[in-house]
Structure 1
Amino acid sequence: MASVTLQIHVRPRPVITASSSSSSTRTFDVVIIGAGIIGLTIARQFLIGSDLSVAVVDKDVPCSGATGAGQGYLWMVHKEPESDTWDLTMRSHELWEMFAESVRAQGLDPMQELGWKQTGSLLVGRTAEEAAMLKTKVKKLSEAGLRAEYLTSHDLRLEEPALEVGEHGGAAFLPDDCQLDAQRAVAFIQKANRHFASKGRYAEFFHDPVTSLLRSDSSSEVDGVQTSKNKLYSKKALIVAAGCWSGSLIHDLFRESNILLNVPVKPRKGHLVVLENFSCLRLNHGLMEMGYVDHLHDAVDCKSSDSVEAVEGLTLSVSMTATMDTVGNLVLGSSRQFTGYSTKVDESIINNIWKRAGEFFPKLKELCLEDFTLDRKVRVGLRPYMPDGKPVIGPVPALMNVIIATGHEGGGLSMALSTAEMVADMVLGNPGIVDSAAFAVQGRCC
């Protein structure tokens, strides 16, 4: 019998939003378009770090895009210390650690509230060539200040008995890397944000897509946004954090203006397989094969990336990633492909993910994926991909009160808190902790 695949977009419990009863005109200091992990953490940063009021608006609900479909890793093992995103990611991981500690200080368990686990991460290779590259990576990560070590094939077997990399293989091991559950983390952040609603500082407008900008003839700034139900004015800033939809949204909003703005963010589709309450093998750490890093940085010719259609024909890549969450679910990935905005499950990709995982975990070769039909779920998400491999974070030069924060690809969760800090500092005029120059809009989008 053919296996049945369930595509999940986990929805939080229904919420009463500020726009649920009738249309209205409201004014806030900051209006944020996008209720993914980037948008909600930006809102959180303003709420806890200033006295500004914030509105979050989305055509759907929180965690319905790439955030909810991700694997939840906060890993540095596959990062490059010399890359443009290194400082941003390092700062974000520091902030996540502080966040987990703040949850613990409230008398709560970060594992229960956030799905937080300090599992450590392993970047694994199976050839002598990959082993040599991993040794070099460990040296770089150590020099950058991280606790890192190289594990031989023998050492690796002691850490992960179910994993097989051959006698010439090995791994880079970062024992301090963590992972969390994006759904739970977003729900926790959203609940904390809502505490400010009673003070008149926070409101949510979900299932309420933005349809146009509000601008006065006498001002070069954007005054706010018109949604399908409401007029939302912003006194300080309008922030576009709509993930892979940011480019098309900005194109539509500025189509009739004289501002040349092209945010070349594209949807990059990914599949993950979730096997619930999986007991056939256990993992002690988060794992990722070296091929994941290669596929992560697969370049798209910028000359052909002006539209989604131009990159749809690129070859599918499937790399082994494996994590086990706090409730015992095995999460396997991952695929990368350009197929426009389609989130349809592709069964052949699921089979490829399972087959690839079996090359690293021999136990899985003894099992048939079809036997897990009732306990199997599939997550499909669209990562916001930028051709140059780094997010866009900064004001639009012609409209300094409009800030873009998108293009994090598969690192939205990993870079969320530092991105939020960076955006808030831009609006509040604070000196930035991480240099934002590499992420500027100028020269990349206009």
Structure 2
Amino acid sequence: MHALHTKPPPRPHYGVRCCTFPSTLFVSHSSSRRSACIVAAVGSSSAQDTVDVAVIGSGIIGLCVARKLLQDTQLSVALLDAKQPCAGATGAGQGYIWLAHRDPASPSWPLARRSKAMWQQLAAAAGSSKLGTAMEWQENGSLLLATSADEVAQLQARAAMLQQQGVPGVVLLSPRELKMAEPALKLPTGSHGLLVKSDAQINGKQTAFAMLEDCQQLAAAAAGGSAGQTSQLLLGLQEPVVGLQPLGDGAGVEVTTQKRRVRARQGVVVAAGVWSGQLLAAATGQQGWQQLLQPRRGHLLEMQPPAGMPRIHTGMMELSYTQHYSSSSEQSHGTAAGNSSSSSKAVHITFTATTSASGTLLIGSSREFSGWEALPDAVIIDAIMQRASCFLPHLSGISAQQLLATTRVGLRPFAVGGLPSVGLVPGLPGVAVAAGHEGSGLCLGPATADLVLHQLLGLDLAAAAAAAGGGGGGEAGGGVTADELLAAAKELAPERRLASLAAASR
């Protein structure tokens, strides 16, 4: 096979709409960009390894899967990635572990509740656990901002909905209370806020690398050796996977990388984010996988707070951001890109802001279908800052050139229909997928690992809930039962997600 080379795409022209409330800001492309498909050549290496389970992808989903296997079973694991941890969406986000903006009617809701409780349990070990400390857990709350009468009504309905679901710390803020809570904000008269005090955030990148180290230590402890001398974990970073083949007769699945062949006796979990679509399309012959999982580039800006700006105490976002998490937002590529044609893509700019544990500001955010390009764009950075300064006037006058070096860019694994695919892959015995979480990998990761390993290996969901302290419906497990997770699994099943793609195409 040969690598497919593409010419650099022409620089797009953007049109930016200024500080109107409450709508999301849109930035329009006047020209399309090509999608680049990277096809790696298979070398002649005869290196072979055998493990129980292979995990493809070392983003937060893959790491959660690998860690659960190493912590809760005696199985050996291969963790394979074309790059390094956080090469996709994990390291480019704000790290919100929120319920405020999520929809209880969505199948992802029980995963979010359970995952949040599991992260909180890990964070409780901070000081005695390197992973718990590295997470930088901040229970600083979430704040949704409503800037019109219509949005205030939506906010009131959302508050009632969250309270009905038993989410703790849900408080509606009047205009005066909102100003007192966040003095840096400048909003139209009559604006309200919805504060969820129990929401939190973590440092996604540090969490991922600490989780990788935790996997190595768990494997070493199981093998009775050091982290560098154990057969319990085969770590293959910088090893693109170029082949995936069930062997039949119960022999497992063979995974081929550029450096080796790995036989996974009990199965494979594909958790390679948006790149999962390419791999599964090649392995199954179903091109629908590439259509189902698409790259959606996002920018997040990191900066020191401007002089004189009051500290931001919560994580905040404008209410229109919640459209990305609505159960009624099952949408195709075209509608997600603003009903644009193939020659005109839209960039959605929505205000979000928080303060990191180190004191820097994290300002966002953008969403766009721009192929596989993952470099920062100065025009988009300027658009994000323009939108942010509508809410935080202290940010006015900061240029993209000042922020290019610290801007985070990642490719979110957007899934048509708005839901991830979690479960067994049709036509590939012994292969499961956990991909398409878009910007929710951190928020859904731990519960996704529970669910996909139940489907692949039969791991007991009820026992996992009890291990998380939630077997009796307690807060440590998010109050989520095994039955609720299994009900969600039906909606997240790959065959169901592929069927939704086919329906959207008709």
8 Å CA contact retained: 1:121, 1:175: yes
Gaps of 5+ in 1: 1-21
Tell me the CA shift for residue 377 of structure 1: 1.2
Tell me the CA shift for residue 425 of structure 1: 2.0
The 2-side partners of 1:109 and 1:443 are apart by 35
1:136 corresponds, among 138, 157, 170, to 157
Q: Please say if 1:319 is aligned against 2:341.
A: no
The letter of the residue matching 1:291 is S
2:388 maps to 357
2:258 maps to 228
The 2-side partners of 1:294 and 1:288 are apart by 12
Tell me the CA shift for residue 314 of structure 1: 3.4
The letter of the residue matching 1:383 is R
The letter of the residue matching 2:425 is V
User: What SS does the corresponding residue of 1:411 show, helix, strand or coil?
Assistant: helix
1:72 corresponds, among 71, 75, 95, to 95
Query: Structure 1 residues 88 and 311 mapped into 2: Cα distance closer, same or farther (>3 Å)?
Result: farther
The letter of the residue matching 2:177 is D
Q: Which moved more, 1:277-286 or 1:24-33?
A: 277-286
The letter of the residue matching 1:47 is L
Q: Please say if 1:122 is aligned against 2:143.
A: yes
Tell me the CA shift for residue 68 of structure 1: 0.9
Tell me the CA shift for residue 320 of structure 1: 0.2
User: What SS does the corresponding residue of 2:430 show, helix, strand or coil?
Assistant: strand
8 Å CA contact retained: 1:391, 1:408: yes
Query: Structure 1 residues 311 and 360 mapped into 2: Cα distance closer, same or farther (>3 Å)?
Result: same
Aligned residues: 414
1:14-163 residue pairs with structure 2 within 5 A?
A: 24-104=47-127, 106=128, 110=132, 112-147=133-168, 148-163=170-185
Gaps of 5+ in 2: 1-44, 224-230, 462-481, 500-506
2:373 corresponds, among 310, 318, 342, to 342
User: What SS does the corresponding residue of 1:399 show, helix, strand or coil?
Assistant: coil
8 Å CA contact retained: 2:130, 2:210: no
The letter of the residue matching 1:355 is Q
1:428 maps to 457
The 1-side partners of 2:129 and 2:134 are apart by 11
8 Å CA contact retained: 1:125, 1:165: no
Q: Which moved more, 1:239-248 or 1:394-403?
A: 394-403
Tell me the CA shift for residue 418 of structure 1: 0.6
2:422 corresponds, among 385, 393, 399, to 393
Query: Structure 1 residues 278 and 420 mapped into 2: Cα distance closer, same or farther (>3 Å)?
Result: farther
The 2-side partners of 1:55 and 1:327 are apart by 34
1:367-446 residue pairs with structure 2 within 5 A?
A: 367-369=397-399, 373=402, 377-432=406-461, 433=482, 434-435=485-486, 436-445=489-498
The letter of the residue matching 1:189 is M
8 Å CA contact retained: 2:131, 2:210: no
8 Å CA contact retained: 2:317, 2:351: yes
The 2-side partners of 1:312 and 1:380 are apart by 23
Give the TM-score normalised by the residue count of structure 2. 0.77
1:237 corresponds, among 255, 267, 277, to 267
The 1-side partners of 2:334 and 2:402 are apart by 43
Tell me the CA shift for residue 391 of structure 1: 0.6
The letter of the residue matching 1:419 is T
Give the TM-score normalised by the residue count of structure 1. 0.87
User: What SS does the corresponding residue of 1:139 show, helix, strand or coil?
Assistant: helix
Calculate the aligned-residue CA RMSD, in Å: 2.4
Deviations 1:168-198, CA, capped at 9 Å, x for gaps: 1111110011101111101111111001343
The letter of the residue matching 2:301 is V
Counting aligned pairs with the same residue, the percent is: 32
8 Å CA contact retained: 2:423, 2:456: no
The 1-side partners of 2:394 and 2:244 are apart by 55
The 1-side partners of 2:351 and 2:335 are apart by 28
1:176 corresponds, among 191, 198, 204, to 198
User: What SS does the corresponding residue of 1:358 show, helix, strand or coil?
Assistant: helix
Deviations 1:22-67, CA, capped at 9 Å, x for gaps: 8621111100110100001100011111111111101101111111
1:262 maps to 289
The letter of the residue matching 2:151 is E
1:296-315 residue pairs with structure 2 within 5 A?
A: 300-301=331-332, 313-315=344-346
The 2-side partners of 1:375 and 1:399 are apart by 43
The 2-side partners of 1:44 and 1:27 are apart by 19
Deviations 1:229-273, CA, capped at 9 Å, x for gaps: 011110111111010111111112333xxx786351111111111
The 2-side partners of 1:142 and 1:130 are apart by 18
1:288 corresponds, among 317, 326, 344, to 317
8 Å CA contact retained: 2:52, 2:266: yes
8 Å CA contact retained: 1:268, 1:382: yes
The 1-side partners of 2:457 and 2:153 are apart by 46
2:465 maps to none
Deviations 1:136-185, CA, capped at 9 Å, x for gaps: 10000000001211111111111101112222111111001110111110
Query: Structure 1 residues 215 and 140 mapped into 2: Cα distance closer, same or farther (>3 Å)?
Result: closer
Query: Structure 1 residues 283 and 401 mapped into 2: Cα distance closer, same or farther (>3 Å)?
Result: same
